[in-house]
Structure 1
Amino acid sequence: MSKLFEELDYRPTPIGPVILRRRHILSLGEDVFEIMLGEEHLMSSLFTASEVALARLGLAELEGESFDVVVGGLGLGYTAAAVLEHDSVDSLIVVEMLDPVVDWHERTLIPLDPPLAGDPRCRFVCDDFFALASSRKGFDPAKPGRLFHAILIDIDHAPDRLLNRRSGSFYSPEGFARLADHLHPGGIMGLWSDDRPDSAFTELLASVFGEARAEPVTFTNPLRHDREFTQTVYLARKSAAPA
């Protein structure tokens, strides 16, 4: 049996120390991997339903046969891995501000199978997603101004519960309008939230993109089957160009 607890890495970052740790859950007979920001939980491999749903719901909205996708926020990689399950995805850029998180994936400290770094369609960009979203150059350093079919975001806990103040102006009509500039007409923006659906926020998205909805994702805690959690995936479609 593996150790009951192990800290795999600890690194300082501009927004605080990030820690990758592994716990063995005896009642489940499995290892659980967690990313911490100081004392704050960022992600656990025990709860991944909504991160996977972000990718699957977002890509299900697309029409066509080949797509270029951006994922904002790497974490344990479950959203990116779910994107790469689709053969229709030609390319994936994962934007992650924290270098240690990218390093964990490149060193395969995080046990995704197959690893993200082994897929030639996937590329990591170590940068601030929110800064790139508001810029003219966008998300691909090699191709400034490049457009994408889907941009899927899992960074903050919710639009009004931020990890860091740098992202605050993003959750506004102006911030989303700048993001929409990086999407093809008809492209999809997907956003993960730890909270239940917020009708006012959905209306804000619709006012910018033209079409938006909130998809609740409900799942049970494997350690407490009597307790359900509901998180949200917001989906917004950029209006198609006039004929």
Structure 2
Amino acid sequence: MRGEGRRPGHRRVASRPVGVRFEELAWRETPIGLISLRRRRDPSLGVEVYEVKLDDEFLMSSLFPVAEIELARLGLAPLAGHGLDVVVGGLGLGYTARTALSDDRVGSLLVVEAIEDVIDWHRRELLPFAAGLASDARTRFVRADFFAAVADGTGFDPGEPGRRFHAVLLDVDHSPRNVLHPAHAAFYTPDGLRRLAAHLHPDGVFALWSDDPPDPAFGEALAAVFRTARAHVVPFANPLTGGESANTVYVAQR
């Protein structure tokens, strides 16, 4: 997820009082700040909103799931056949992983997440829109640093080093330029992308969520490694502004 911790910290789980408009469900101190999951009732929209925060910064909100959903749909669209083996890097609120599982061509889903508490949110089904993700027989959670797994060459499956996959769907950093930790920056270079591509089958797909508009420099890095690369602008209604916002989903195929 956006906001990876690197060592254990303090954790708290709250029970939900009846009739409240706001509740903090869980939080954990990490070296990069306090990561928390909260639920609130938005009276103007008439919905319950789930949010992930890093200190006072909002990382994810259930009000804006469109691009996370499209990350899975666009990333899997170029692939043919059934029994697809898929990696999701960054679990977060679970929209990308849950959408991937809704594709009946997916045979296995490996979710790589650095924070154990985030995995625990899903195992305890704190997020109703992601219900069934943890219990699906195709799902396996791996607590690991996605970027370190690429950099050291071991790959994403601890039980099968060097295993290849049909698709890798990544949603951790804000964008290739706006990373959560300096160590992530090397991943977005041609060398880093080549290391990632080594974990894909021929014709395999790498797809990436970004909060920024399409970045020509990153597009060139993708084109240097992959046979095809495209940046999809994903617009969505923003109920907070009454207007429209957009994210970017990059899709590159070997």
Is residue 60 of structure 2 the alignment partner of residue 29 of structure 1? no
TM-score, normalized by length of structure 2?
0.90
Q: Which of 89, 105, 108 is the matching residue for 2:125?
A: 108
Is residue 41 of structure 2 the alignment partner of residue 19 of structure 1? no
SS in 1 for 2:30: coil
Summarize deviations over 1:166-200 as a string: whole Å, max 9, x none: 21111111100000000001000000000111222
Q: Which of 230, 234, 237 is the matching residue for 2:250?
A: 234
Separation of aligned partners in 2, 1:167 and 1:191: 14
Count of matched residue positions in the alignment of Structure 1 and Structure 2:
237
Whether the 8 Å contact between 2:51 and 2:59 is mirrored in structure 1 is yes
Q: Which of 171, 174, 187 is the matching residue for 1:170?
A: 187
Q: Which residue of 1 aligns with 2:11?
A: none
Q: How does 1:1-243 map to 2 (within 5 A)?
A: 2-225=19-242, 227-238=243-254
Using a 3 Å threshold, how does the CA distance of structure 1 residues 2 and 86 change in structure 2: closer, same or farther?
Answer: farther
Deviation at residue 16 of structure 1 after TM alignment: 2.1
Summarize deviations over 1:38-88 as a string: whole Å, max 9, x none: 111110000000000000001011111220000000000000000000111
TM-score, normalized by length of structure 1?
0.94
Using a 3 Å threshold, how does the CA distance of structure 1 residues 189 and 2 change in structure 2: closer, same or farther?
Answer: farther
Separation of aligned partners in 1, 2:83 and 2:27: 39
Whether the 8 Å contact between 1:2 and 1:24 is mirrored in structure 2 is no
Separation of aligned partners in 2, 1:190 and 1:113: 21
Separation of aligned partners in 2, 1:2 and 1:129: 39
Using a 3 Å threshold, how does the CA distance of structure 1 residues 2 and 133 change in structure 2: closer, same or farther?
Answer: farther
SS in 2 for 1:150: strand
One-letter amino acid of the counterpart of residue 182, structure 1: H
Higher mean alpha-carbon deviation, 112-121 vs 181-190, is at 112-121
Higher mean alpha-carbon deviation, 42-51 vs 58-67, is at 58-67
Deviation at residue 26 of structure 1 after TM alignment: 0.6
Using a 3 Å threshold, how does the CA distance of structure 1 residues 2 and 89 change in structure 2: closer, same or farther?
Answer: farther
Deviation at residue 210 of structure 1 after TM alignment: 2.3
Whether the 8 Å contact between 1:13 and 1:98 is mirrored in structure 2 is no
- In the TM superposition, structure 1's runs of 4+ consecutive aligned residues that sit over 6 Å from their partners are none
Consecutive unaligned residues in structure 2, runs of 5 or more = 1-17
One-letter amino acid of the counterpart of residue 50, structure 2: F
Whether the 8 Å contact between 2:188 and 2:218 is mirrored in structure 1 is no
CA RMSD after TM alignment: 1.2
Whether the 8 Å contact between 2:95 and 2:130 is mirrored in structure 1 is no
Separation of aligned partners in 2, 1:223 and 1:2: 23
